[in-house]
Amino acid sequence: MDHMSMDGMVANHKMDMNDMDMGNGQMMHMGNLKLKFWVSLVLTLPIIIMSPMMGMRLPFQITFQPWSDYLVAILGTVLFIYGGQPFFSGAKGELANRKPAMMTLIAMGISVAYVYSIYAVIANDVLHVTPMVTDFFWELATLIDIMLLGHWIEMNTVMSAGSAVDNLAKLLPSTAHKLINGDVQDVAIAQLINGDHVQVRAGEKIPADGQIVSGATSVNEAMVTGEARLVEKQVKDQVVGGSVNGEGTFEMTVTGTGENGYLAQVMQLVSDAQAAKSSQENMADRVAGYLFYAALTVAIVAFVTWLLVGNLALALSIAVTVLVIACPHALGLAIPLVVARSTAIAAGHGLLIRNRDAMERVNQLNYALMDKTGTLTAGNFKVADYQSSRDQFQANDILRLMASLETGSSHPLAVGILTAAKAHRLTLIPVTDSHQITGVGLSGQIDGTTYQIVSAAYLDREKLTYDRAVFERLAGAGNSVSYLVADGQVLGYVAQGDQIKPESKHLIAQLKAQNITPVMLTGDNPQSAQVVADQLGITAVHASLLPEDKAKLVKRYQDDGGHVMMIGDGVNDAPSLAQADIGVAIGSGTDVAIDSADVVLVKSNPDDVVDFLALARQTTRKMTQNLWWGAGYNVITIPLAAGVLAPIGFLLNPMVGAVVMSLSTVIVAINAMTLRLKN
């Protein structure tokens, strides 16, 4: 299928969110898990009433021996098989992958408790073996309930965290006004394909990504890009599906639907980020693996030791306690809950995290290399001066020829030239064989003559003659100067000025405050680049660069021991974005080449880089806190469960271990949900 409907995307996303990984590929459906918990809880109630807790009978408990023991054993068996099934399935997957971890530990814990309890019932009521410690059905039942509840809470938390993605999908309307042979027909948006002509009326949601072909309006893109203002749109402007049209009615050509649309890309990016394993998640898996072997070793050693100094009942009780304590439930929740929360916050603020490892590298950064045009400056060039260098051409001839060559280009310099030509009502000339020259400019034929638009750096490399003094004056004023060349001669120039984004100064100040050195990389001339750098307070500037030069500079900083974040527009900067430790593509989100970046900022706002750094640091801090808590309590409680304090009369009971574990799970979940985006 070439075009997937947004309904399908939502359905797939919900299916992914409703299916929870229960251990290396073993999935548990949300509804089934909820049902298992409630059924298990119902089975637990009579067990609590009839079975002793920690060997003691509570005032509300009843017993009618030996039948109460048999009934508890039957209910415990049903609970063990039914409620424990998710953990056995998870353990099977882990063992099949030769990576025993949390599910295996849980399965071991409840299995040992069950076998011990059945043995206790038979010994007490059938064999009449005395003395004998009572069964652990009370602990077994409550442990299964706690584990099922913990996973249910986890899945609810993850689904709540992912609701921001579902809300994005809900932005699209159900139908669109499609123009067919001049008539307007309402069709389902799933039927739209690229190239369709659609009418969007005042106040309606835009049904798909597209380009305006007639009409003018203002569009509220707040829910998509985070911009809390109306954005004016004219013919040839791009609009994003899901944004809300203002008072005008316009027609557009569909450019992105289904899986190709912007919202679908957002959903896919978030989904990929939630599914991908970060280095800290891998660490959590490794810790769980180590914990399995450690717990198994300690349990065996403790069992043998207490069998020698005590009896079988005591040895089994202590072994059960060790395995219950070692169940790494909190460790399993430690990272995923933070990731789910962080990803949802990022998506809601227009921060699309493609590679979650990038967030963990933020604390290592010491250089931020960034493009100038479109990143630090607005990219809204205005022609400040244009002149001819040859007697046979007038100044307007130069502007007309350059505008003709730039027809159809969306580059900021091209837009500035085309705008100036339109303002002077210049008639453009047809161009053939028009193509970009990487790192140089562009070329095309007009009336049989090949023309090129190039930079001063190209003229210097090719040793072409031009007025250097004029260039120094224009560039020194902060202008970008483009030259028109034909037959090896410079025919004229166009000088354009750009405006620095107001947020850029704050970005540079914040980078310096975080001990990250800002470095400007630009293909523009050194004089123009220096003007911008001086205004922003950037001391390291590299100008007149080709795309491959930027990537080499990133590599050079890395080779010198630096950790580099590259910020660019995601197109010309693609090589350097891919080379950097963290590649940040800043742009509209629809035009940017996201495949080369680790992070995509939907808005063209430098302050979003600051937001990303803040969110990344807080996310990493929460991950570390949860990781230490999830694994740290085992370091203390496993030795206690094994009986290291037995000489002073303290032995940790299995139920106490289950309670401690459940509390750690709640703490991990609460800590994850307190994550906020703060600067």
What residues are annotated to the active site?
371
Q: How far apart are CA 140 and CA 108, in angstroms?
A: 12
| Burial category of 42 from C-beta neighbours within 10 Å (exposed 0-12, middle 13-18, buried 19 and up) | exposed
Residue 24 CB neighbour total at 10 angstroms: 20
- Do the beta carbons of residue 358 and residue 272 sit within 8 Å? no
Q: How far apart are CA 262 and CA 241, in angstroms?
A: 7
Q: How far apart are CA 677 and CA 679, in angstroms?
A: 7
SS3 call for 501: coil
Please, which residues bridge with residue 15 across strands?
none
SS3 call for 125: helix
Backbone angles phi, psi at 520, to 5 degrees: -95, 130
Question: β-strands 244-245, 564-568: how paired?
Answer: unpaired
- Do the beta carbons of residue 209 and residue 255 sit within 8 Å? yes
| Burial category of 141 from C-beta neighbours within 10 Å (exposed 0-12, middle 13-18, buried 19 and up) | buried
Question: β-strands 238-239, 209-214: how paired?
Answer: antiparallel
- Report CA torsion sign: 124, 125, 129, 131: positive
Question: β-strands 489-497, 382-388: how paired?
Answer: antiparallel
Q: How far apart are CA 69 and CA 583, in angstroms?
A: 64
End-to-end CA distance of the chain: give it in Å, rounded. Answer: 43
- Helix H or strand E segment including 590: none
SS3 call for 173: coil
Q: Which tokens belong to 196?
A: 């369709």
Contacts of 388 (CB under 8 A, 6+ apart): 394, 395, 397, 398, 491, 492
- Do the beta carbons of residue 661 and residue 603 sit within 8 Å? no
Q: Which tokens belong to 158?
A: 């993850």
SS3 call for 519: strand
Q: Which tokens belong to 40?
A: 């298990």
DSSP 8-state secondary structure symbol assigned to residue 592 = S
Q: How far apart are CA 525 and CA 473, in angstroms?
A: 12
